[in-house]
Amino acid sequence: MSRDDRQFPTDGRSLSLIAIAGLIAGVILISSLLKAGDDSLLCSIAKSRSQPINAFSDMETQLRALVHYATSKRTPQQNYGEISVTYNVLRNRNPCNFLVFGLGYDSRMWNALNPQGKTLFLEEDQKWVDNVLKGAPEIRAYTVNYRTQLKEADDLLNHFRTEPSCLPSNASLRGNDQCKLALTGFPDEFYDTEWDLIMIDAPRGYFAEAPGRMAVIFSAAVMARNRKGFGVTHVFLHDVDRKVEKRFATEFLCKKYLVKSVGRLWHFEIPPADKNTSSDGPRFC
C-alpha cells in the first residue's frame, strides 16, 4: 500500500503473483458478499439481474474490485496471511470507520471490504493520488504532508520524552505544533472521526529523507487512547521488519496490546486511556 513497493517483478514469476492476487481478492470479496446477505453467491447474482445495480452501490464496488484484481498485473503489497488479519477484523466490525495511511494497489480491496462504512486513505504524493483515483473514483483519499524525516527518528524519541505536549496525559493532535510527533494540518475529517481500524502502511520509510512512520505511529496511539466510543481501536502496522517501525511500535502501541503477528504485520488492540492503568504515567506503555 505504501509507495515503498510500487515496482514489481516482470519476469515469469509475475504470472503466479497475478494468480495469487486474483485468488486472494476473489476469496475475500466473495466471502464478504456471502456474509452480507444471501446463502450463495448465485442468489446474489440472480437478484442483481432482476434489480439494476447502482453505479455506486456496495455490490457494484465489490464486483468491480473483484474484476480488477482478477485481471490486474499488479499485486497487493501484503501477502495472503497479512491481508487476512485485517479482513477478519473487518468482517466483525463492518460497517466501521477505517483509516488507511497509504494509497496503493490494495486500496480498492480495502474500500470494498468495508461496505456502508467509512474508509479514508491518506497519501503523501498528489500525483499518485490522481493516478489511483482515475481508475477507482469511488475511493476517498486526501493528500497530506508530514513534518518528519526518517533520519530524525532518534531525536524525535528524545523530543517526546522532554516535550510536555507529547506526554500521554496531554497528547492531542489538531493544532499541537509543539509536539513534533503529532500529525497537524490534516483535513478536519481526520480529526473529527473516531477511527475503529487504523492501518499504517505509509508514508515512505526506506531512506533517510523519507517522512518515516514515526509520527503516524505516535498519532495512532493518541487517537486510540482518546477513543470515546465502545471497544478498542485496532491498529495494523506493516513493515515491522524495519528498525524504526518496530522501535516506535514498542514505544507507543505497546507490546502488551499486540494480539497477532503475521509476516511483516503486527495487529494491536488498544483500549481507551481510561481503561489503561498507565494512562497517568510519562510513557505510553
Pair 76, 183 in one domain: yes
Alpha carbons 128 and 133: distance in angstroms, whole number: 9
Pair 72, 135 in one domain: yes
Is pLDDT at 62 greater than 90 in this prediction?
Answer: no
Q: What is the pLDDT of residue 11?
A: 41
Q: Residue 227 — φ and ψ, nearest 5°?
A: -60, 135
Alpha carbons 172 and 49: distance in angstroms, whole number: 50
Is pLDDT at 263 greater than 80 in this prediction?
Answer: yes
Taking residues 55-59, report their average pLDDT: 57
User: Domain span at residue 265?
Assistant: 53-270
Instruction: Provide the CATH number for the domain around residue 121.
Output: 3.40.50.150
Q: Which residue has the cell 489511483?
A: 132
Pair 35, 135 in one domain: no
Pair 46, 59 in one domain: no
Averaged pLDDT score across all residues of the chain: 82
Pair 240, 110 in one domain: yes
In a domain, 1, yes or no: no
Cβ-contact 197, 96 below 8 angstroms: yes
Q: 193-211, pLDDT tens digit by residue? A: 999 999 999 999 999 999 9
Q: Residue 237 — φ and ψ, nearest 5°?
A: -115, 120
CA dihedral for 153, 159, 165, 171, sign (positive or negative): positive
Alpha carbons 268 and 90: distance in angstroms, whole number: 14
pTM over 0.85? The answer is: no
In a domain, 285, yes or no: no
Cβ-contact 115, 135 below 8 angstroms: no
